[in-house]
Every structure is written in C-alpha cells, then in structure tokens.
C-alpha cells in the first residue's frame, strides 16, 4: 500500500491558557479592540460602496491606508489585519451560498475579543518545562502557556506535522491561545468494537444500551454555588438602584465579570467531562447510534401569548436550563469526529417514541412510564420492567439494526435561505 493510501492529513485544534503580565495583557487587549474596529470599518466601507467597486484589492488598499493614518489601528499586526479581511470576505461568501446570515456590526460588549495569528512559522512554539511552553506573539513578545498536549515543535516540525496558525481568544478566565495543527497520521483501521445505542437525558446525561450510565456532579461545588447566588442577588440589587438610561456602573460591571468567571469555570469542567467520556466511548465501540434531536425546538418557551397564556412556565424554563447545561449537540459533535478518528462511525436514527416503546416486545402501551426512571410495559404478554433510560438506549440501537438510519443533514442555512421559495417552473 502506498503512502498516499496508508496516511491521511488531519487538522485539529488545541486550546491552552496563556500566562500574561499586565503589560502583555494590555497589548493583546489593544490588538483585539483594533481587530473588532477593523471589522466594523470594513463593514461600513463595503456596504457603502456600489457593488461594481467592491473588491479584495480595493479593501486591502483601504486597510493599509487606515493602519498608516490611524495610530490605534496600527496596534494590530499586518497579518492580523489581513486575517480580518479574509474572515470578512469568507462571511459574505457563506452568506451568498446560503450557509449563514449577512455579516453584522460587532458590538463592544457582545462580541468575544479575539486576534488571529495566521502565520504559524512566526509563533516559534517551544517547550521549556513539563507544564509550560513558550509562544511568540507579534508586538507582544514571548509568552508562556500551559503545556497540556504534545505539539509539533522544534525538530519535529515538517511539511506534514506543523502548526499552521493560531488564534487568541479571551473569556471570563483570561486569554487563551487556540493552535491550528496539521499532522499526517496513518488511516485508522475499521473499529472491531461492538454496536451501542446512547440515550441522552437530564437526570442521566448518557445511558448506553449495554447498561452503562455516565453521570456527573454539579459543575460548581457548594461554596461556588453560594457565591454565584450572592453575586446574582448583588447584581440585581445594583441594577434596581440604577436610574433609567443610566450607564452601567463599574461596580455592577465588576459583579457581572465575577458571575461570568464562575459560569466559565463550570463550562470548562463540563468540556473536560465531555472530552473524557466521548473519548472512552469512541475507543470502546465501533458503531455509536444516537437520536437526531431537534434541540432548538425542545428549548422553546412555554409563555404563550396574551390571549392564550402558557402553562407550567417556570417548570419549562427550568427544563430548558437543564437541557442547555447538558450540551447534547456538542456531545454529538465530539462523538462524530472521535469515532471517525478511531475507525468507527456515528449513526443517527429518528427520536420519535424511543422512550415510550418497550425494548422487549416493541409495543407502545399507555402508562408504561410510571416514573422518570422506571419503565414498566403494560402489555399483558410482556410485562417487562427496567430502567427507562436503558430501555430508550436499546430502542435506539434496535432502530439502527432495523434499517432506520437517517441520512446526514446538510449544513445550516441562513434565515434568508430558509425563507426562500424555489420556483415551481423553470424560467
């Protein structure tokens, strides 16, 4: 077998936390604000010009001139400014092809701060300690980051295994760097593992058809939950004391920052748990079967209208929060690429009646779900009882074995594309 058939290119990302001094953090903040302002100026310039005058060359000339004439825009490196232009043009291309909406103005407080570093050879990543690495950031200098994954650096770097670029991203816990890594690895052999169905729920996040269940505790411990409750009450009190139309005070903004930090900590722990569980599943099973869940529809509000108000609105709001915290969509995405990397496959089946049907006799009888956790078949010829989540996982696997696998869904379309009606006759 030739090398072209035995190996394949794989692209993946790795995110690490940066350790910055106050001066370095201020420099990266200036670059992020300049990048956001560059996007907004480019958007105003692009939408203002007639269509026949829009071109990448003209936009490149305008960006170069702006960086020379406006001092604070020069804080953004030239490669970062070119990356803003490429990202903006790609956003319009996705809009023209119906994959996304039109690019919009980036507000200061609603847009995550980020800076693109497109030149991988300029990063000069090096490992200096078992837990630390160094990376070069343009106009900032050498910066330390937490080394938690082996990266192709030094003598290992070649045309196949290399860091093609990176992106600086800021969240409530500080600045992080996301590396874009390209590697050449052997093609995975078909996974010899068994088939398994997975049911995703709120009480039991992941229930497998072989009886395995993956659970987790609260993402925040007791003192952290108490601190979050105190901060939310404090923010509500300070918000009530603010006069209508008055700008948010620094104290209120500081409280909001502390709340975001706690939520970001919980999200980081949730991501860590999801990565560990999905990796274990992808390495153990050859075929993973899940439901195709319409999560957006499941998170709909129950408020209703003034004429027809909804019922059990607080309960539905709590259920929506619980579903959002589980992040089922991200779990499915992780399973998709991890099963493919291990030689397995991810299959989706219809989600209708998987929790109401008995996995032993295959019939749906009213009143079988006596509780959230127990399933008791009311069929006189069956009478099987067991865990409800395990029963649903078995039904999911049975649907795949019966040939009810669904075809892959195309990428997300924009609102304009979804509303567009195709002509019934050819012109």
Backbone angles phi, psi at 194, to 5 degrees: -80, 175
Q: Are the beta carbons of 176 and 14 closer than 8 angstroms?
A: no
CA distance 122 to 19: 19
Q: Which pLDDT value is given to residue 426?
A: 35
pLDDT at 421 over 50: no
pLDDT per position as a tens digit, 62-99:
889 988 888 899 999 999 999 999 999 999 999 999 88
**Which has the higher per-residue pLDDT, 278 or 303?**
278
Residue-level pLDDT at 76: 92
Per-residue pLDDT tens over the stretch 218-234: 899 999 999 999 999 99
Confidence of residue 264 (pLDDT cuts 50, 70, 90): very high
The model's pTM is 0.82
Is the confidence at residue 279, as pLDDT, over 90?
yes
Answer yes or no: is pLDDT of 311 > 90.
Answer: no
The arithmetic mean of pLDDT across residues 186-203, rounded, is 89
> pLDDT tier at 44 (50, 70, 90 boundaries)?
very high
Q: Is the pLDDT of residue 327 over 90?
A: no
Nearest to 267 by CA among 222, 327, 221, 217: 327
Task: Select the more confidently predicted residue: 340 or 316.
Answer: 340
Contact call for residues 373 and 387 (beta carbons, < 8 A): yes
pLDDT of residue 277: 94
Tell me the pLDDT of the chain averaged across its residues.
86
The Cβ of residue 385 has, within 10 Å, a number of other Cβ atoms equal to 15
Burial class (CB within 10 angstroms; exposed 0-12, middle 13-18, buried 19+) of 84: buried
Phi first, then psi, for residue 190 (nearest 5°) are: -55, 130
**pLDDT at residue 104 greater than cutoff 60:** yes
pLDDT band for position 319 (50/70/90)? confident
Q: How confident is the model at residue 203 (pLDDT cuts 50, 70, 90)?
A: confident
Is the per-residue pLDDT at 276 higher than 80?
yes
pLDDT digit string, tens, across residues 141-165: 999 999 988 888 754 445 678 899 9
Rounded (5°) CA angle 398-342-280: 70
Residue 2 banded pLDDT, cuts 50, 70, 90: very low
* 174 Cβ contact list (under 8 Å, min separation 6): 17, 18, 20, 25
Q: Where are the beta strands (DSSP E) in 71-138?
A: 114-117, 126-127, 132-137
Of 146-150, 271-275, 308-312, the one with minimum mean pLDDT is 308-312
The answer for residues whose C-beta is within 8 angstroms of residue 418's C-beta and 6 or more apart is: none
Q: What is the mean pLDDT of residues 20-47?
A: 94
pLDDT confidence tier of residue 194, bands split at 50, 70 and 90: very high
| Cα 340 from chain centre | 18
Provide the pLDDT for residue 420.
45
pLDDT at 425: 34
**Beta strands of 106-209 (E only): which ranges?**
114-117, 126-127, 132-137, 141-146, 162-171, 174-186, 195-200, 206-208
Please give the share of the chain, as a percent, with pLDDT higher than 70. Answer: 92
Range from 52-61, 344-353, 403-412 carrying the lowest mean pLDDT = 403-412
């Amino acid at each position: 077998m030739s090398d072209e058939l035995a190996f394949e290119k794989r692209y993946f990302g790795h995110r690490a936390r940066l350790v910055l001094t106050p001066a370095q953090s201020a420099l990266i903040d200036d670059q992020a604000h300049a990048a956001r302002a560059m996007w907004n100026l480019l958007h105003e310039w692009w939408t203002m010009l007639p269509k026949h005058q829009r071109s990448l060359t003209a936009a490149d000339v305008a960006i170069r001139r702006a960086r020379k004439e406006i001092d604070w825009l020069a804080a953004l490196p030239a490669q970062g400014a070119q990356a803003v232009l490429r990202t903006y043009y790609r956003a319009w291309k996705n809009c023209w092809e119906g994959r996304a909406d039109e690019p919009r103005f980036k507000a200061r407080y609603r847009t995550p701060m980020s800076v693109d570093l497109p030149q991988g050879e300029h990063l000069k990543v090096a490992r200096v300690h078992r837990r630390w690495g160094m990376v070069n950031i343009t106009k900032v200098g050498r910066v330390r980051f937490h080394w938690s994954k082996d990266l192709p650096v030094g003598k290992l770097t070649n045309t196949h295994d290399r860091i093609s670029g990176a992106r600086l991203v800021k969240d409530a816990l500080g600045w992080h760097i996301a590396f874009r890594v390209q590697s050449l690895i052997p093609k995975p052999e078909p996974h010899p593992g068994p088939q398994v169905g997975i049911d995703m729920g709120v009480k039991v996040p992941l229930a497998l058809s072989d009886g395995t269940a993956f659970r987790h505790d609260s993402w925040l411990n007791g003192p952290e939950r108490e601190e979050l409750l105190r901060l939310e009450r404090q923010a509500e009190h300070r918000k009530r004391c603010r006069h209508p139309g008055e700008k948010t005070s620094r104290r209120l903004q500081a409280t909001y920052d502390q709340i975001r930090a706690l939520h970001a900590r919980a999200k980081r722990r949730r991501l860590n748990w999801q990565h560990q569980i999905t990796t274990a599943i992808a390495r153990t099973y050859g075929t993973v079967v899940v439901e195709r869940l319409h999560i957006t529809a499941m998170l709909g509000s129950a408020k209703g209208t003034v004429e027809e108000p909804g019922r059990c609105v607080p309960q539905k709001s709590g259920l929506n929060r619980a579903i959002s915290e589980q992040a089922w969509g991200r779990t499915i995405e992780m399973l998709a690429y991890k099963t493919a990397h291990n030689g397995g496959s991810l299959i989706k089946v219809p989600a209708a009646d998987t929790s109401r049907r008995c996995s032993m006799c295959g019939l749906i009888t009213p009143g079988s779900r006596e509780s959230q956790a127990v399933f008791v078949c009311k069929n006189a010829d069956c009478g099987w009882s067991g865990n409800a989540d395990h029963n649903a996982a078995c039904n999911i696997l049975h649907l795949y074995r019966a040939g009810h696998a669904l075809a892959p869904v195309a990428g997300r379309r924009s609102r304009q594309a979804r509303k567009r009606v195709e002509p019934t006759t050819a012109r």
